[in-house]
Structure 1
């Protein structure tokens, strides 16, 4: 492995891990995905098109691998032995306001469509340009912009919604 390759790939690894964790919502599966992505990037280093910025190319590899895994996972049920569950997933989160906002954000992200969530994560969290995000996803820039706009709007509505307001009866003034 050349030092040029290492210098190009190494700074991208933390961002790849963040994106993989956001997509898969499982730390060990995300780490496995990043490992597979890095193996593929190293083995196909000669196939990259842009010599200067490898970030979009590596993110495209990770995204494609993640979508393949998610498709396969949706086709078969998940089996978790009861003994492996333990008490951790059943425990309540911390009552601090930041933790609650974080939980609401994750819940809001999970309610977005896969297309909207991936665009939102690539542009806002990973700070890819619209053009780079379009290359990663294989869609036109206009599609990235419209998906991002819809994702931001829907996430804002989900985050600012008062859950009690939906079940509360509305009163009308009768004159």
Structure 2
């Protein structure tokens, strides 16, 4: 199977992870585009038989770290833009409000907690897989997950 055919089904997941990192749709799209481009250019570094999605998420994360570092060096302050929810048909309003509250609560988390929650709770990666993607010990992942989950639940309790 071609590399592109392996990567293609994972684009929605990569987009969600990019959004969890960037917290802004435009930045997330830019991050995803840069990540896919880098993955295509470095396809020879991927080892067939391993999880291509985990490999690509690691590329996204490294690109995002580079982006944040360059922005801070340039003296820019990165503030996520408030995103309005498109309120849908009757019955979807509550869901849209709740998703907005969750997005706002996630945005208040420190980046290291937000990325752990995005990988484990949103994307469903196993603890060990998420720890490998983030290149951290599993104990650190567990600690960040517990603190992040508590902070998220606290923030959602305030929103209610």
TM bucket, shorter chain: 0.7 to 0.9
Question: Could you say which residue in structure 1 is the equivalent of 2:142?
Answer: 145
Displacement after TM superposition at 1:99 (Å): 2.8
Residue 85 of structure 2 contacts residue 97 of structure 2 at CA under 8 Å; is this kept in 1?
no
Displacement after TM superposition at 1:7 (Å): 2.1
The worse-fitting range, judged by mean Cα deviation, of 28-37 and 8-17 is 28-37
Distance 1:4 1:52 in 2: 14
The worse-fitting range, judged by mean Cα deviation, of 6-15 and 49-58 is 49-58
The worse-fitting range, judged by mean Cα deviation, of 135-144 and 39-48 is 39-48
Per-residue CA deviation, residues 86-138 of structure 1 (Å, 9 max, x unaligned), is xxx798975x3333322221221112111100000011222222112111111
1:108 aligns with 2:110: no
Displacement after TM superposition at 1:162 (Å): 6.4
Q: Structure 1 residues 72, 152: closer, same or farther in 2, change over 3 A?
A: same
Distance 2:24 2:155 in 1: 23
Runs of 4+ in 1 over 6 A off after TM superposition: 89-93
Larger Rg: 1
Question: Could you say which residue in structure 2 is the equivalent of 1:172?
Answer: none
Residue 17 of structure 2 contacts residue 118 of structure 2 at CA under 8 Å; is this kept in 1?
yes
Unaligned runs of 5+ in 1: 79-88, 164-175
Question: Could you say which residue in structure 1 is the equivalent of 2:17?
Answer: 19
Distance 2:83 2:46 in 1: 45
